[in-house]
Structure 1
Amino acid sequence: MIGAVVPAHDEEALIGRALRALRVAAAHPELLGEEVRILVVLDACRDRTGEIASRGGAQCLSVDARNVGIARAAGAQALIEQGARWLAFTDADSVVAPCWFARQLACRTEAVCGVVEVDDWTGFSAEERTAYERGYVDAEGHRHIHGANLGMSVRAYQEAGGFARLRSREDVELVQRLHALGMRIAWTNTVRVVTSSRQDGRAPEGFASHMARLKCA
C-alpha cells in the first residue's frame, strides 16, 4: 500500500482541490491497482477541513500541535501501522500531477524530491516572477526540497528517524539525514506539483515565506 500524508491547518478553501488531484493520481494505470490511502492530518483545525476531507474519501487524524513536523510524522506513523510500503507527502494548498505516485515509484530509489510550479502569479510583478524563476532549477538533478512534493520508502523513512518536531524545514532536515545515510535520492522534475502562490503560509520558513520575500526584495 502507498500512503499519502497531507498536513492541514484550517484549509477548507483548498483541501478539496488537493484531494481530487490525489484521487486521480491514485488511479493511475501504472500503479497496477495498488491501494493508495490518503491521510489528512488536521493540525489544530477550527474550520471545515476535516468534514471536507472525510467527504472526499480521505482518512483524518487530529493533532493539536501547530507544527508541520509533528503533523507529518503523525500521519506517516499512522500509515506505517496500516501497512504502507511507500510514503508520499504533499500540502493542502498543492495539486499533484496525475502521474505523481507512479513517477515516484518509477524512480526506483529510496527517496524522491520533486519540483513545484506556482499556480498564479497575480499580484506579483514581472520582475518578481523573473527573480523567482532565475533562482529555481526546474530540471533533472535540481537540489530543491519541498514538503509539498516528497516521497520515500518506509524503510528509508524509519532508518533516518522520520520527521523532526520542527515548525518548518522539517523536509530539508529529513532529506539531509537520508543523504548522510547514503540513501539513493532522485532529484527529478518528472515528479511535479502545482502549489499556491500565497504569502501567508502555515510554516514560518516554508514556501509561502519564500514567496513573501520576493515582494520585499
Structure 2
Amino acid sequence: MKPRALAVLLPAHNEEKRLPRALEAINVAALHPALRQVRTITVVAADSCEDGTAEAAARANSLVVRVEGRNVGLARSAAARRALEILDGPAGVWFASTDADSVVPADWLGFQYARACEGWDAVVGTVTVTHWPHRRARLAARHQLLYTASRPLYGPWRHPHVHGANLGVSAQAYAAVGGFPPLPVSEDRSLVAALSAGNHRVLRTAECPVATSGRLHPRAADGFGDHLAALAVKAGPRP
C-alpha cells in the first residue's frame, strides 16, 4: 500500500510541559522528502486534562479531540476516529502512534511510509531512554540488559516489545481488527496481537527507535514508566 495520508495519533493527559517538544519533533518528521505528496496530520487526544495540553497542541498546529476517561486505549481510539473523519475513511491511510513524553527521530514518518509502501500492515518499533533520572546508572544498565536480551549478535532483531510510542499500522488493517481496545493499559499489545492473529503482515524492527521518557512517576499506570519504577527497586539504591 502506498499511503495517500499519514495520521499521527498521540494521547495526552496533563502533558502541557512535555507535549510541545513531542509535537515539534513530529512536525520535523512530517517534512521528510518522501512525504512531499502525502497529506500528514497530527491528532492529539487530550484525555481528562486539567492544564493547557489542548492549547499547547493547537499552537503546534495539531488537531485536538477531547476525551474524558483517563484511558489510553480510549484516547488513541478517539484520535484514530477523528483522523478518519478528516481523511474520509481508512483507504490509503497510515496511522503512526506515539506518546506525549516521547521524541520521534526526523526520519520516523519517512521510515514508516517506506515500510507501508513495501506492503507491511504494521510496524512495531523500539524505544530508547535518553534521559534517566539523576544518579540512576544501575537502573539504566539493568534496563538495557533486559531490554536487549533477545537481540542476536548478527542480523535483524525481531524484538518482543510493543510500545504505543513507536507503532505504525495501516488504517484498513486497524479497522479490520477493531482498532485500539478501550483498555487503560496494554491497548497497544492487544492491537498488535489482534493483527498477528488476523494474519496481517507485522514487522518488528529495531530500526528508527523513538526516544522516550525515563520518568518513574508516569501518567498511565502499569505501563512503561511503572516497569522502570519496578526495575529501579530491583536495581537497588542510587550509586
Q: Which residue of 1 aligns with 2:57?
A: 53
Q: Among 223, 227, 230, which residue is 1:213 paired with?
A: 230
Moved over 6 A (4+): none
Q: Which residue of 2 aligns with 1:16?
A: 20
Deviation at 1:127, TM superposition (A): 2.5
Q: Is the 8 A contact 1:104 1:191 kept in 2?
A: no
Cα gap change, 1:53 to 1:179, in 2 (>3 Å): same
Equivalent residue letter for 1:43 = D
1:195 counterpart = 2:195: no
Q: Which residue of 2 aligns with 1:103?
A: 111
Whole-angstrom distance in 2 between the partners of 1:99 and 1:78: 25
Where does the alignment leave 5 or more consecutive residues of structure 1 unmatched?
none
1:92 counterpart = 2:100: yes
Deviation at 1:124, TM superposition (A): 4.8
In terms of fraction of residues, the more strand-rich structure is: 1
Q: Among 144, 147, 164, which residue is 1:133 paired with?
A: 144
SS of residue matched to 2:157: coil
Where does the alignment leave 5 or more consecutive residues of structure 2 unmatched?
235-239
Q: Among 134, 137, 143, which residue is 2:160 paired with?
A: 143
If you compute each CA radius of gyration, which structure gives the higher value, 1 or 2? Answer: 2
SS of residue matched to 1:190: coil
Moved more, 115-124 or 68-77: 115-124
Q: Is the 8 A contact 2:132 2:215 kept in 1?
A: no
Whole-angstrom distance in 2 between the partners of 1:176 and 1:45: 30
Count of residues in correspondence between the two structures: 217
Q: Is the 8 A contact 1:68 1:167 kept in 2?
A: yes
What are the within-5 Å matches in structure 2 for residues 24-35 of structure 1? 24-35=28-39
Identity, % of aligned pairs? 40
SS of residue matched to 1:202: coil
SS of residue matched to 2:78: helix
SS of residue matched to 1:72: helix
Moved more, 96-105 or 133-142: 133-142
TM-score normalised according to structure 2 size = 0.87
Q: Among 127, 130, 133, which residue is 1:122 paired with?
A: 133
Please list the CA deviations of residues 7-32 of structure 1 after superposition, one character each: whole Å capped at 9, or x if unmatched.
00000110000000000000100123
Cα RMSD for the two superposed structures: 1.3
